[in-house]
A = this chain, B = another copy of it.
Amino acid sequence: MKTYKKADFPVANVRRFLEPGPVVLVSSAHKGQRNIMTMGWHMVMMQEPSLVGCFLWDQNDSYEMVRRSKECVINVPTVDLVRAVIGIGNSHGSEVDKFEQFGLTAVEATKVGAPLIAECYASFECKLVDTSAVKRFSLFVFEVVKAHVATSPRYPTTVHYRGDGVFMVSGRNVSYRRLFKPENL
């Protein structure tokens, strides 16, 4: 499968890829094990520091791995990976290595122990910074501490889950910059 050549990217700007709402792949590692989960429930919560809130289901194997390692990588897959996205979502149980099973390449991260996924358009290394809403809402708050983004194309073609097996595929990107008050951009 295709891998993307990536460059460092300002962590305060990761909203460009997360705020549109794509399904993401969350990779994690703990004590020699690694895992990937498919996740659609996330939101940008702050730009500086760069905070992202994620719902992690407590029945998912990644839940404990993220909770214990206090780290993860949020990877943004493109539409060519949709079968892996669904397959990973279907997989429960940590007995299989999902990188091998789905033909994905683990790349060492810089600031966290969890691996980057080379086939994804962007990878955001995250530290768990707040768990105060985990019990009530399974909401983990991460700080993006390092961002890797493909140098081309300018924007990824992402998949956005509607439930019931239906994905919306991202369409065209249009700048309305001239209509914005500069302080609202």
Contacts and interface: CB of A to CB of B under 8 A. Distances in A.
Contacts of A89: 180, 184
Interface of A: 13, 15-17, 19-22, 40-46, 51, 53, 55, 82-83, 86-87, 89-90, 130, 132-133, 136-139, 141, 155, 157, 160-181, 184-185
8 contacts: A16-B164, A17-B162, A19-B162, A42-B43, A82-B176, A157-B171, A164-B177, A165-B178
A158 B178 CA distance: 20
Contacts of A53: 43, 53, 137, 139
Contact of A16 (B130, B155, B162): B162
Given A90-B180, A132-B133, A171-B171, A19 B20 contact: no
Contacts of A43: 41-43, 53, 55
Given A169-B172, A170-B160, A175-B165, A19 B45 contact: no
- The 8 nearest A-B residue pairs measured at CB: A21-B21, A165-B177, A171-B171, A20-B160, A43-B43, A169-B171, A16-B162, A90-B181
